[in-house]
Structures are given as C-alpha cells and as structure tokens.
Structure 1
Amino acid sequence: MNLGRVREYEVLALTALIWFLGKFVRYAFPPLFEPLQASYGVSNAAVGAAFSGFMAAYALLQFPSGTVADRVGAVRVIAAGAAVAGLGSLAVLFDAPFVALVGAMLVIGVGTGVHKTVAIRLLARVYPARTGRALGILDTVGAFGGVVAPAAVVLFVSPPPALATPLSRLPGANWRALFVVTGIVALALAATFLVRVPGRLPVDADRGPVRDGPEPSARDYLALFEDRRIGAFVFVTIAFSFAYNGTVAFLPLYLSEAAGLDTTTASLLYSALFAVTFVQLVSGDLSDRLGRFPVMVAALGLAAAALVGIVALAGSGAVVLGVLVVALGVGSHGLRPVRAAYLVEALPERLAGGGLGVVRTLTMSAGAVAPAFVGALADVAGFRPAFALLAGSVGAAALVAAGLWATA
C-alpha cells in the first residue's frame, strides 16, 4: 500500500469518522421515541420538541463555527466540538427527569453543530480538485451513522443475555449505555484529530489565506442574499431540510402507526433510508463532471416522488414501502455533496467560512423546527397529513432548483 496515499486521505478519514459519530448520535434518538414515551409518559409533541431543541442547538452553531474556525483554525474547532458532544453523550448515563435528558441533547447538539460547516471548508481546501468526491465520501460515511444507529438501539434496548448482565449494573434503562460508548469514542476521536491532522494539512488549509482589509461585517453576509440566485438556492436548501428532518425524526413511528408495520420492520426500513448513502460517492463525482444542477434536480425529484408514494401507499405493505424508503434515501443523500459543493463555489472566498455558516444556520433552523411541527400536527390530525406536507416541501424545492437550472 502506498503510504503517501494513506497520509493524503488521513484528514478526510478522521473528519468523516467524527461526522459518522455525530450522525450516529443524532439518529439514535428517533428509534428511541417509543421507549422514551413509555419511560417518561410524554407525547409525540414532547419528544418532537426535544429533538427540535437538539437540532436548534446544532443549527445555531453553524455560523459562529465557520467564523471562529477562520480565526483559530478548523482543527481546533472540530476537535472541541467532538469533545463537547462526547461529554454530552456521557451525561445521558444518569437516570434523571426528562428535562435533564433534553439538556444533554442540547449539549450534544452544540458539539455536533460545529462540525459540518468547518469540515466542508477544510476539505475543500485540502482537496480542491476533488471537492465533490471528498464531500461525497464525508456525507457517505456520516450517513452510515443512520444505518448503524437503529440496529444499535435495538441491541441496547433488548440486549442478548451476554450483554444484559453488565448493562443491568448501570443506572436507568439499558439504552443509556449506548451513549456512554458514544461519548468515549467521541473523546478518543477528538484527541486523535488534534494530534494527527495539523501535520497533514497544506499551507493555509487550517485557517485559509490571510485576508487583506477588515474582517467581514454582518452587512457583508446579509448582502449575499441580494443575489437572487443565491436567495433562491437558499430556499431550496431550507425547503428540503424542513422535509428531510421532519421525515427522519418520525419515520419509524409513521411506519408503525400510519402504515401498520411492526416495530422491528419499521426500524429495519429506517436503517434502509441511510443504507443507500453510498450514492453520494456517485452523485458528488457526477456533479464534478456534469454540473451541480442536473444532479440536484434529479435527486430532489426522486425524493419528492418517494415521499408522495409513502403517503399515498401507506397501507401497501413492507415491500412497497421499503422500495419507496430506499428511493427517498437515494434522492436525499444524493443531494448532499452536490448542495455543499455548489455553495462553496458560489460564495466569495472572503465570506466563504461565515457565509456557509449563515446558509447552514438558516437551513438547519428550518430542519430544527420540523420535528416539533410534525409531532404536533400528528397529535392533532395524524401522521399522513403531516407527511403529505413534508412531501409538498420537497416538491417545492425540486421546482425551484429546476428553475435555477433552466435559467443558468
């Protein structure tokens, strides 16, 4: 094996592993909604609001993380975020009231929230000629956290006898041990990243080139949205994020309550949503070759059609719903690296770190609202109307992206 090639991709590998852990801990919560409701006696709206709080904390860190990384360095910000997320995960061990669990979720949201914006800029600088491919690998590895999380939840909620005995010595429910393991691994990755990555970076990759003139102001960042194409693209990202986060938060419950599947089958289909994440390797590379918008429009169109099918064919059984969930996963994951690569290219270099943070703050804020909204609507009208709204949101994103493509 070529040692030089291994070292070349060490930055990408460690960045992607931390992102995997961040996505893992995020998507461990939705499969736990039923156990949480049973343990704490809370409603769909309550668990949805808790997950929205997690996502809101994540969203609020997008802009400051980008600007801070430009000043103190991406390596320090990424390592600090992993450490904070690890400490928040360890706090879940303690059997405490529901509000304490929500507090720990907020800390994890803060820790994971600093990663993606900073990672995108770092990898774009380290791999300038292969940005789409590098971001495709980052998101592919990260999305596998969603594949592993539901299976890990099942393992810890209903552990085999060999695992049940040591888990019984921990306080509270068995599933809390899952977050202990996550916390320990997060702290180890934070330390490894801080030690290994700085020596692997090209010049100016950590903080970017030294700027001439004053630091960008808030007015400079707001001026970005005076560009109608950037504003329209931000709408695309917001509409998709709202729909995607609302879907992933409640898909297991939707499949069991609205579609009539048993809990185990619903969890397996939820894993399938993330199992197709490898499509990002293809979509990122294709967008480098064919252009960003053709791939984006195809991905959004497929995701919209799949969500419409999940609503319209809710009673069609596990096989049909499984195909639709896979199609939703292909479209949703296929969009991610292309969206990120387009933003990196569209934003001016001097505003790239903070500008990307602003866009991701808006995008993830919309995503943060979605679980609370879907949970409340499901309590009032049921899951099918809630998911129909989510399908409409993806459809609107697809139409605007198609308009941007047509007018490029």
Structure 2
Amino acid sequence: MNLGRVREYDVLALTALIWFLGKFVRYAFPPLFEPLQASYGVSNAAVGVAFSGFMTVYALMQFPSGAVADRVGAVRVITAGAAVAGAGSLAVLFEAPFVALAGAMLVIGAGTGAHKTVAIRLLSRVYPARTGRALGVHDTFGAFGGVVAPAAVVLFVSAPPALDALLSRLPGADWRALFVLTGLVALALAPVFLVRVPGRLPADADRGPERDGPEPSARDYLVLFEDRRIAAFVFVTIAFSFAYNGTVAFLPLYLSEAAGLATTTASLLYSALFAVTFVQLVTGDLSDRLGRFPVMVAALGLAAAAIVGVVALAGSGAVVLGGLVVALGLGSHGFRPVRGAYLVEALPERLAGGGLGVVRTLLMGAGAVAPAVVGAIADVAGFRPAFALLAGSMGAAALVAGGLWLTT
C-alpha cells in the first residue's frame, strides 16, 4: 500500500471518526429512554424534554461554531468540540439526580454540535477536487454511528455473562459504561486531531486566506440570502429536512397503522431506510464528476417519488412498501453529501463557515418542527394526509433544485 496515499487521507479519517462518535452518542440516548426511566423514576415527558434540550443545543451551535472557525481555525473548533463532548459523556458516570444527567446531555449536545458545519468546510478545502467523495465518506461514517448505537445499547444493558463480568470492572457497570468508553475515546481523539491534522493541511486550509477587511458581522451573514440562488437553495434544504425528519419520526407507525403491516415487519422496513446509507459514497463521487445539480435533482426526485408511492400504495404489502422505503433511503441519503459540497462552493470564502452554520441551523430547525406537525395532522386527519404533506415538501425541494439546475 502506498504510504503517501494513506497519509493523504489522515484528515478525512480523523474527522470522520470524531463525527462517528458524535452520531453514536446522539443515537444511543433514545434506546436508553426505558432504562433511564427505571434508573431515575422519571416520565416519558422528562426524558423527551432532556433529549429535546440536547438537540436544541446541537442546532444552536451550528452558526457560532462556523463563525468562530472562520476566525480561529477549524482544527481548534473541532478539537474543542470533541473534548467538550467527551467530558460531557464522562459526566454521565456520576449517579447524580436526573437534572444532572440532563445537564450532561446539554454539554454533549454543545460538543457534538460544533463539528459538522466546521468539518464540511475543512474537508472541502483539503480535498477541493474530491469534495463530494470526501463528504460522502464523512457522512457515511456518521450514519454508521446511528446504526451501531442501538446494538451497543442492547449489548451494554443486556450483556451476556462473560461480557457482564468484564463490564462490572468499569466505572458505572450499567449503561453508564457505554458513555464512559465513548468519552474516553473522544478525549483521546481530540489531542490526536490537534497534533496530527495541521501538518496535513494545505496552505490556508484551516482558516482560509487572510481578510483585507474587518471580521464578518451578523448582518454580513444575513445579506447572503439576498442572493436569489442561495435563498432558493436554502429553501431546497429546508423543504428536504422537513420532509425527511417528519418521515423518519413516524414511518414505523405509518407502516403499521396506515399500511396495516405487523409491527415487526414495520421495524424491519424502517431499518432498511438507514441500511442504504452507503449510497453517499457513490453520490458524493458522482457529483464530483457530473456536477452537483444533476445528482441532487435525481436524488430528491427519487425520494419524492418514494414518499408519493408510500402514500398512494399504502395497502400494497410489505414487498412493494419495502422497495419504496429503500428508494426513499437511497434518495435521501444520496442528497446529503452533495448538498454540503454545493453550499461550500456557493458561499463566499470569507463567510463560508458562518454562512453554512446559518443554513444548517435553519434546516435543522425545520427538521425539529416536522414531527410535531406530522403528529398533529395524523391525530386530526390520519397518517396518509400527513405523509401527503411530506411528499409535497420533498417534491417542492426537487422542483426548485431542478429549476436551479436549468438556470445554471
């Protein structure tokens, strides 16, 4: 193996590993809701509020992390984020009241929230000719963290005797051991990233070229949206996020209640939505070769058609619905790395980090609202009208992206 070739991808590997841990610790919490209730004697509402706090802090970190990275460098921000998330994970060790756990979750949310916006910009500078491929690898690692986390929770909560004997030697011999190990790995990766990555970066890759004028203000970032093409693409990202997050939140219930599938079958099909995450490696690479918009329009069009099919063919059985769910996963996951690659190319260099943070805050805000909207419509009119709204949102994203492609 060519050692120089391996060294070339050090930055990508370390950045992706930190993102894997960030997604892993995020998706480890929902499967733990029941053990947390048993441990602390709290309600569903309490654990739900704690997790909402985690996600809210995560979303609010998008803009400041990008803006700070524009000033002090991406390496420092990513390192600090990993260290903060690691410290928050270790804080879970202490058997304190539930409010202390909720506080630790906020710390983890802040640490993990500092990563993605900054990582997108850093990787685009390090791999300018292969941005789509690099972001595809990065996002695939993160999605894989979401796949592994539920299995890890089961392993730590219901460990077989041999593993249980090993875990009993760790601080916090129950589910806390999972966070202790995650925190230790994050704290080990942070200094490795800080020491190793700067020597692998091209000139000006960390902060970009020196500015002639003053540091950007909040108004400078808002002015970005006066550019009609940027504003239109932000609409695409928001419409996609609303549709995708609303679908992810309620797809299992939709398949069981509106489509009449058994609960186990619905769960299996739900898993298929995430199992196809590796398509990001393909679409990211294709967008480097064919252009961003052809791949984005194809991905969004496939996702929109899949949701329309899920609504129109709700009674068609597990095989047809399974194919539609896989198509939805291919389109949705396939869009993500190309979206990030386009944004870093479209935003002005001096505002790239903060501008990307603003966009990610907006799209994550739309994603956070979607489950509440879908749930309210489902309570009043049923799941099929609610999913029809999601199909319309995804279709609007595809149409506007197509319009941007045609007018390029």
TM value normalised by structure 2: 0.87
What is aligned with 2:69?
69
Encode CA deviations 1:224-275: one digit per residue, 9 max, x unaligned.
1111111111011112122323333455565567667677665554443222
CA distance in 2, matches of 1:158, 1:212: 59
Give 2:121's aligned amino acid.
R
What is aligned with 2:286?
286
Change (3 A) 1:252 1:54: farther
What is aligned with 1:178?
178
The alpha-carbon deviation at position 371 of structure 1 amounts to: 4.3
CA distance in 1, matches of 2:256, 2:321: 12
CA distance in 2, matches of 1:48, 1:324: 30
The alpha-carbon deviation at position 169 of structure 1 amounts to: 7.8
Change (3 A) 1:370 1:6: same
The alpha-carbon deviation at position 153 of structure 1 amounts to: 2.8
The alignment status of 1:351 with 2:351, answered yes or no, reads: yes
The alpha-carbon deviation at position 101 of structure 1 amounts to: 3.9
CA distance in 2, matches of 1:84, 1:381: 44
The alpha-carbon deviation at position 163 of structure 1 amounts to: 2.8
Greater Cα offset, 303-312 or 223-232:
303-312
Q: Which has the higher contact order (CA 8 A, sep 6+)?
A: 1
CA distance in 1, matches of 2:323, 2:38: 30
CA distance in 2, matches of 1:194, 1:123: 15
Matched residue of 2:6: which SS? helix
Give 2:162's aligned amino acid.
A
Change (3 A) 1:16 1:326: same
Aligned ranges 1:186-197 → 2 under 5 Å: 186-197=186-197
Percent identity, aligned pairs only? Answer: 88
What is aligned with 2:405?
405
Aligned ranges 1:258-297 → 2 under 5 Å: 268-297=268-297
What is aligned with 1:105?
105
What is aligned with 1:80?
80
CA distance in 2, matches of 1:68, 1:35: 38
The alignment status of 1:202 with 2:237, answered yes or no, reads: no
The alpha-carbon deviation at position 165 of structure 1 amounts to: 4.4
Structure 2: state its 5+ residue gaps.
none
CA distance in 2, matches of 1:95, 1:382: 42
Give 2:180's aligned amino acid.
V
The alignment status of 1:146 with 2:152, answered yes or no, reads: no
Encode CA deviations 1:183-227: one digit per residue, 9 max, x unaligned.
222112212211211111111111111111111222221111111
Give 2:350's aligned amino acid.
R
Change (3 A) 1:196 1:255: farther
The alpha-carbon deviation at position 5 of structure 1 amounts to: 0.8
What is aligned with 1:212?
212
The alignment status of 1:158 with 2:158, answered yes or no, reads: yes
Matched-pair contact (CA < 8 Å) for 2:208–2:349: no
CA distance in 1, matches of 2:32, 2:48: 12
Change (3 A) 1:176 1:61: same
CA distance in 2, matches of 1:50, 1:311: 33
Matched residue of 1:277: which SS? coil
What is aligned with 1:363?
363
The alpha-carbon deviation at position 95 of structure 1 amounts to: 5.1
Give 2:80's aligned amino acid.
A
Give 2:145's aligned amino acid.
G
Matched-pair contact (CA < 8 Å) for 2:132–2:284: yes
Encode CA deviations 1:24-56: one digit per residue, 9 max, x unaligned.
22223344456557775644x665554433222
CA distance in 2, matches of 1:271, 1:323: 13
CA distance in 1, matches of 2:237, 2:23: 19
Change (3 A) 1:196 1:89: same
TM value normalised by structure 1: 0.87
Change (3 A) 1:48 1:292: farther
Matched residue of 1:216: which SS? coil
CA distance in 1, matches of 2:159, 2:251: 23
CA distance in 1, matches of 2:48, 2:374: 7
CA distance in 2, matches of 1:385, 1:36: 34
Change (3 A) 1:81 1:266: farther
